[in-house]
């Protein structure tokens, strides 16, 4: 079963809800190694996206994702705005004109989103950033798609890989962003960007369980 436009809208709403619920948690993580604003920034951005919902709910999937990306670019402060904005804009470009998504469509969109983030932030695996959650998630999704597994199974694999990637940032020494200023002191803390990325992948798996 493909993912429909309504499924996409449901996922975006679920992302807004989970980020609002975890606003304080993300801010606590960020207070240890960053500017203590990641939770508030992500919540503000997705609440702004929610305000756009009435005007995009009848559009194609690509237009919906591009609107999400542009809204995050203009409302999320810090590094999160450009990076998450790029993530959703790249997904929007890959899904332009579509009213439903097959697993192969979503894989192409995720690969473009990851490439966009890497180009924008210049981060690699092991730098203690959102890339450490998104890269294994995309790789796991690709592996599932290549194995002809169902959409829900592939989404579950991606979410689990994102969780493991997020947890793997705890012992890392940050090499990018504000956390890198702390040097060795950044070790022992979970990266907030990797955490918000995991939450987004988790919501996709849960929202699209019957997709």
Domain boundaries, the chain: 3-207
pLDDT in the model for residue 4 = 97
CATH 1.10.8.80 fits 3-207, yes or no: no
* CB-count exposure of residue 187 (10 Å: 0-12, 13-18, 19+): middle
pLDDT in the model for residue 179 = 62
Residue percentage of the chain with pLDDT more than 90: 76
Residue 61 · residue 5 · CB < 8 Å: yes
pLDDT in the model for residue 105 = 98
Global pTM exceeds 0.85: yes
pLDDT in tens, 172-200: 767 666 665 555 665 778 999 999 999 99
Residue 46 · residue 10 · CB < 8 Å: no
What's the CA gap between 102 and 120, in Å, rounded? 27
Expressed in angstroms, the distance from the first to the final Cα of the chain is 5
């Amino acid at each position: 079963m493909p993912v429909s436009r309504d499924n996409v809208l449901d996922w975006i709403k679920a992302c807004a809800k989970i980020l609002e619920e975890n606003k304080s948690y993300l801010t606590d993580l960020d207070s240890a190694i960053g500017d203590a604003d990641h939770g508030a920034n992500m919540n503000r951005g997705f609440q702004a996206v929610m305000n756009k919902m009435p005007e995009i709910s009848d559009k194609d999937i690509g237009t919906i994702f591009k609107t999400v990306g542009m809204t995050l670019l203009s409302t999320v402060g810090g590094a999160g705005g450009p990076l998450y904005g790029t993530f959703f804009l790249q997904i929007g470009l890959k899904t332009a004109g579509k009213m439903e998504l097959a697993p192969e469509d979503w894989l192409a969109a995720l690969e473009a989103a990851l490439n966009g983030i890497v180009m924008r932030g210049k981060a690699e695996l092991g730098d203690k950033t959102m890339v450490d959650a998104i890269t294994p998630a995309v790789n796991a999704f690709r592996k599932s798609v290549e194995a002809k597994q169902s959409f829900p199974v592939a989404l579950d694999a991606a979410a689990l890989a994102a969780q493991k990637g997020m947890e793997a940032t705890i012992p890392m020494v940050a090499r990018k962003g504000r956390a890198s200023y702390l040097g060795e002191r950044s070790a022992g803390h979970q990266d907030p960007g990797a955490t918000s990325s995991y939450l987004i992948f988790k919501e996709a798996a849960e929202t699209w369980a019957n997709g």
